[in-house]
Structure formats: structure tokens, C-alpha cells
Structure 1
């Protein structure tokens, strides 16, 4: 079994073992991305389909005069498409890919809150029974009776999606 897949990325936890995140919902699941990655939260914008693009990043949008890709990470996780609602938003994140900062729009069903997650409540994804690729998840954080999924955005956006 590959133990490296189980390692939680702890590089972004602060000295109090906390991580400030923005939580959002996709297809009934709650996800969290590091708040430092978030550049802006937008209402849905007109998007332009890109012929021949993979479904995962099938369109682009104009963000403050810049053309950025619009990603649907539910496809990376093999989730069902959901209906656009008044709560649907686009989170613009900045990721460093190949040494360059890249802006990416991420489609969500609903943006919830900025909150702090405790490292003590986090655990790696189980190696058995997961319907998603383990390397797409940094960790799961238990909050109340639910789990918040902290995706590994670098792994998701550097993988060549074949869907």
C-alpha cells in the first residue's frame, strides 16, 4: 500500500495547528479551501465554452478583464451535475502551477463561510471505501456529525483529466 497517499499536507496549518478556510457545497458535500488561495467570490458570470476542451475545464470567463478557466471539480470527483440555483457561486482561487501563479474559477453550489479548522480533528481519507481518488483529498475534518473535505487543489489541477 502506498503510504504517501495517506500523508496529510500540514504545510499550511499555522503554529496553533489551525487552518483558515472558506467552506462551500458541491453536490451535497461540504468542501473547504484555504482562505489564502481565495481571490474573490462571484455571482455566476457568462461563460464561454471552449470547443474540444475537457469537461473538467470546459469553459472560460472574463474576470476583471482577464480570461481565466472555469473548473467544475465535481467532474474530478465523479459527482453528478447539480442544478444552478440562486446560491451558486464562482470562487476565484490562485494556485501556483509550474512555478507560475494561475487564477482559476471554481464553480460551487453554495458558499458557506470562512472558518477555522483544527488539525486535531483532521484525518487522512480512508484507503478503502472512498469513491474519490485519495490523492485529490488532503484530509477530512470532522465538525459536529459531518466531515468537511479539504481537497488537494494542486493534485486536481495538475492531473490530466480524461473524462
Structure 2
């Protein structure tokens, strides 16, 4: 008898009409959308800071970060507060999602690599793709998406607010 493929749990959410997912173990909480405290001179996808249980958390418009159109707030808009492991530390971020769907499990053997479309494109943030009956779910590699200069800039924002 073959052993069952390992399963991992993910939080699924939508951006525009597409379905994305992040590992459930990086999601600290899911909050209703509130306008963040604006920060001047930040990248366009950095909407500002939000107080999350006494901690200043940078709020990111994930649609802008992925090259999509800006998020338009609706009654379904949520913020996923996540802790991303980057450079040996944990970076707390709030990701704006159009809608959060559910926590679901994906079998490791059902996760396909990002598709090769024959040209160079910004796909290094894609940890994999899961095919479902009517659509696909893109698994986001948060460490790759917010590594390097992004992590340094966002970490500086958080640090400067804590010392203010």
C-alpha cells in the first residue's frame, strides 16, 4: 500500500478574480480592513501602519506588490496579519486581500511548479500552483516576495515607529 502524500494547510484568498494561498502557519490573524496610518515616501504598495495588539505592522496592498491594480475596499476586504521568516528573523506584515475564503489542505503531490511560459517573468514568488475543478490556486512564497530591499525597507518602517 502506498503511503499517503503529505498535506499542508493554507489560507485561501482572492486578489481581483484570482485565488491565492499562504501557509496557515504564517498567518497570525485575519482582521477587518481599516485605513492604516499613512507613511510618507514609502513604496506604492506600502499603505501604512496598523496597530495590531500594540505592534506597528506595515500594511501591504498585495495586488500592487504583484503588479495588479490597486485594491478597492469592499465589505469583504480583509487584512491577513502574517509573520514572514526573512534573514533569520520574523517580519510581521498585514496583507490586504479582497476576500478571505477558508483554511484548506493541499496534498504535496498536487502542487505543481510555476508554469514555464517560455519567457522571463516575475514568477519567483510562486511556490506552486494547485489545480482545482474550476480554477487554480497560486501558492505565494512570502519569503521570496518580501526578501532583499523590501524586507529592509519594511523592517526600517516598523523599527522607526517603535522608537518614535
C-alpha displacement at 1:86, in angstroms? 0.5
The one of 101, 110, 116 equivalent to 2:105 is: 116
State how many pairs are aligned. Answer: 147
**1-structure distance, mates of 2:120, 2:47:** 23
C-alpha displacement at 1:145, in angstroms? 2.4
The one of 10, 20, 24 equivalent to 2:9 is: 20
Equivalent residue, structure 2, for 1:4: none
- The answer to whether residue 17 in structure 2 is matched with residue 50 in structure 1 is no
Structure 1: unaligned runs, 5 residues or longer? 1-14
Equivalent residue, structure 1, for 2:77: 88
Correspondence list, 1:137-156, <5 A: 137-156=126-145
User: What TM-score do you get using the length of structure 2 for normalisation?
Assistant: 0.82
Shift in CA distance, 151/132, structure 1 to aligned 2, threshold 3 Å? farther
C-alpha displacement at 1:58, in angstroms? 3.5
What value does the CA root-mean-square deviation take over the aligned residues? Answer: 1.9
Bigger CA radius of gyration: 2
Tell me, yes or no, if the aligned pair for 1:121 and 1:143 is still in contact at 8 Å.
no
SS of corresponding position for 2:149: coil
Structure 2: unaligned runs, 5 residues or longer? 151-164
Q: Deviations over 1:21-55 (max 9, x none)?
A: 00000111100110011100000123111100001
Tell me, yes or no, if the aligned pair for 1:127 and 1:134 is still in contact at 8 Å.
no
User: What TM-score do you get using the length of structure 1 for normalisation?
Assistant: 0.83
**2-structure distance, mates of 1:77, 1:110:** 16
C-alpha displacement at 1:126, in angstroms? 1.4
